[in-house]
Structure 1
């Protein structure tokens, strides 16, 4: 067996699928992409659901909060499972479990039943942790930030595509005569559920836990050394700094995925299909913006180490916050679109910048650190959801307050410096981590 098939790759060729590393890279981002269809497939259809189930603004807010709440616990659990069970089996199990409520949500006939389904569907959001863990295992420290950012960004792209495609799928069922407009969302959700089942088979069949093989096929670190990785991650203050910053970028992203279509319908009187398309533009920024964040972070890291990466992340967050404030104050649709693209750029670059730092925090607990930071994003989204739930605050006002909060978080991250680990020392850390896993 060739040596390069047993160790992490030191370069990322996105046009290649040769070798277990690149095959896993493409499968993991594609699986994460599909997971967004399951996780947020119902979001652009909420105006229809709201009308049919007679939901109030507060109830819609509760549903938004529920959609990201279960993800918090799921990401913590999945992060630990990646360290022990392995990413391949962890992803397969998650996809099989997640497909059930996605297909089943069409059976909801009341606010309470819909809320329960939406809550359970949230576990699919833990897929992000596995994606980031798996790319961290497959790529060398010199490119791991870029690999994580590209995989995460292309997967997150599913959030934008979902906003565009799901209204079209619902309309197709109506056009084919299977259902009326009111029930179209029920039929439409069968599609992402079926795709999750397909990806469960693909992930189990065609990926490996590490370049050297699956966990059960290779000699791994003794169990007593693997215990306590979650506690190790919790005790490191850098884990909390990153969780805090991720709440201010990814937490905002999934909030926008949830409410953007409704916001455009209510504020600018657009159609559901147009609103979904506009919300999709926000998601499409993931095609390149998150990757840019990882690329810039890797380049800065080679010169200034982790402290440079941290300062770059802080800058992204401050600019993101200012962009959200402009979005909240936009008085017309063109201005809203322009300002949305502005803050989306820095938000997604902040996502990439955050997970460019994650693999360097603790070589013995990469999965647990990834899970905790990922959960931080969802905690942020859950707390933000209470703003959109309030009957006394408009969506525009909520975005304004969010923008201020994000800018403040950026300032805090700028003040709380990460240790000045030099680039060469960072490479050693990651090489030791790869050796420990393989």
Structure 2
């Protein structure tokens, strides 16, 4: 039996939740990238070096790695309504911290903290999965992610214009402050209008607040292994900010951060052990309650390529076009937004194709497209502006469709862990962005694009190990009965 079509012109039932969610994510993306189209003005205000500009770009995605994991845990426990409202309100306030900065150190700290707003994506993934059935969830998640992700393009298009409207040397500050006001106001509206589940439905929660539950010893060790790249990415980031890199922090501070990250890694491992003691003790989980953690690992790798490259490219593209083709700030913002603008149709398309024609097949196709797309972008400096924009848009379609395809599968793995699974995959998206931005700090843009293309080719091979979701997953109701949820 087919599910009814999603009427996007409606504002009732699950479509109302969809609209409330993508607008929340849209605003979080505007806040997250409210600096990118204004970087030229910010650079002039603080007389920043190229290294300091690149450090800001990297800081913007750093904290999102651990925060997406943490927020994933909290949303599974406390629900999307409260979590999204709180995140928007807090990060809206941080916009004023960034706008009022009077030193590079303050600017950098504000940018680091504002990266937390990127965790909002995880919250909406869990919320949408509660309101839409399996046959619609890919398309619904694609709309949520795609229309929300368009916030980066909206920032590129609108913030330079808003800054021009204010005028003067501090115009960029006013533009950033406007985004903070919008985020705080919408936090209240979301809290009043959203609901965690449809009326009468159960919001399934994990057994413990902490690490993710796994269902076999093999999955346990794979989960432990996945902690390593996330910690390594943060260690590399710290090294970049130390005297050996951008010289943003002194050596003693760098040592302190290294120690803190290793402590965080140890704590994460302890949490994994604590939550999964029954598995280590040899308990056999009944087949009906098992899920394959390899699905999480493969989707995390795919999202590292798709979303990781998107964030890295969106961060550098306006300035790249400005310097490469001699454009004005507004023109560079318009052209730079060409990469993100495809979010409006490509993410929903990726989710819809995944719903209709198979999850694994769709993932394979988009990875092929991403590989060839970034290979083409490596030649952009040799082409006229129109050709560079054309190849950017075509590649962007595959990148955004890849993001939609990943999150067309994640809600179908284990319902009560959806926030944590989305957090893990989302964190790997930011691991990818940190890695790619680190590469960019050492190489030319052409080589940067080639590195992403080669990485996508590797993940294409890994995706072939993905299992197509089928059958049903089981969740335990509060009264102890088992509810079966369709995943195909």
Q: 1:315 aligns to what?
A: 365
- Name which of 368, 385, 389 aligns with 1:337: 389
Mapping of residues 281-430 of structure 1, within 5 Å: 281-301=338-358, 309-330=359-380, 331=382, 332-390=384-442, 393-414=443-464, 417-422=465-470, 425=471, 428-429=472-473
Mapping of residues 176-325 of structure 1, within 5 Å: 180=168, 182-212=169-199, 225-227=207-209, 230-232=212-214, 235=223, 236-301=293-358, 309-325=359-375
Asked if structure 2 preserves the Cα contact closer than 8 Å seen for 1:249 and 1:350, the reply is yes
- Kindly state the Cα deviation for residue 104 of structure 1 after the two structures are TM-superposed: 1.6
Asked if structure 2 preserves the Cα contact closer than 8 Å seen for 1:37 and 1:159, the reply is yes
Q: 2:163 aligns to what?
A: 170
- Name which of 108, 111, 117 aligns with 2:110: 117
CA gap of 1:436–1:53, structure 2 versus 1, over 3 A, is: farther
Q: Distance in 1 between matches of 2:467 and 2:68?
A: 26
- Kindly state the Cα deviation for residue 326 of structure 1 after the two structures are TM-superposed: 0.9
Mapping of residues 124-163 of structure 1, within 5 Å: 124-163=117-156
Unaligned runs of 5+ in 2: 224-292
- Kindly state the Cα deviation for residue 119 of structure 1 after the two structures are TM-superposed: 0.4
Asked if structure 2 preserves the Cα contact closer than 8 Å seen for 1:360 and 1:430, the reply is no
Listed one character per residue, the Cα deviations across residues 366-410 of structure 1 (whole Å, up to 9, x for unaligned) are 1110111111101110111112222xx222321222222223322
CA gap of 1:161–1:240, structure 2 versus 1, over 3 A, is: same
Asked if structure 2 preserves the Cα contact closer than 8 Å seen for 1:79 and 1:129, the reply is yes
Mapping of residues 58-77 of structure 1, within 5 Å: 58-77=51-70
Q: Distance in 2 between matches of 1:48 and 1:244?
A: 36
Listed one character per residue, the Cα deviations across residues 76-118 of structure 1 (whole Å, up to 9, x for unaligned) are 1111111110000010111111112112211222222211110
Q: Distance in 2 between matches of 1:421 and 1:31?
A: 29
Q: Distance in 2 between matches of 1:163 and 1:431?
A: 43
Instruction: State TM-score, norm by structure 1.
Output: 0.87
Q: Identify which range, 394-403 or 183-192, moves more after superposition.
A: 394-403
Tell me the secondary structure at the aligned position of residue 249 of structure 1.
Answer: helix
- Name which of 43, 65, 73 aligns with 1:50: 43
- Name which of 17, 21, 25 aligns with 2:11: 17
Aligned Cα RMSD in Å? 2.2
Q: Identify which range, 47-56 or 84-93, moves more after superposition.
A: 47-56
4+ runs deviating over 6 angstroms = 430-434
Listed one character per residue, the Cα deviations across residues 275-330 of structure 1 (whole Å, up to 9, x for unaligned) are 100122222211111111001101123xxxxxxx1232122022112111211202
Q: Distance in 2 between matches of 1:421 and 1:263?
A: 41
Listed one character per residue, the Cα deviations across residues 22-45 of structure 1 (whole Å, up to 9, x for unaligned) are 221101101111111111011111
Listed one character per residue, the Cα deviations across residues 108-166 of structure 1 (whole Å, up to 9, x for unaligned) are 22222211110000000011111111111110111111110111101011111111101
Listed one character per residue, the Cα deviations across residues 43-67 of structure 1 (whole Å, up to 9, x for unaligned) are 1111111122122222212111110
CA gap of 1:412–1:225, structure 2 versus 1, over 3 A, is: closer
Tell me the secondary structure at the aligned position of residue 429 of structure 1.
Answer: strand
Tell me the secondary structure at the aligned position of residue 341 of structure 2.
Answer: helix
Asked if structure 2 preserves the Cα contact closer than 8 Å seen for 1:75 and 1:374, the reply is yes
Asked if structure 2 preserves the Cα contact closer than 8 Å seen for 1:163 and 1:279, the reply is yes
- Kindly state the Cα deviation for residue 357 of structure 1 after the two structures are TM-superposed: 0.8
Unaligned runs of 5+ in 1: 1-8, 175-179, 302-308
Q: Distance in 2 between matches of 1:224 and 1:399?
A: 40
CA gap of 1:326–1:224, structure 2 versus 1, over 3 A, is: closer
Tell me the secondary structure at the aligned position of residue 466 of structure 2.
Answer: coil
Q: Identify which range, 358-367 or 143-152, moves more after superposition.
A: 358-367
Q: Distance in 2 between matches of 1:353 and 1:34?
A: 22
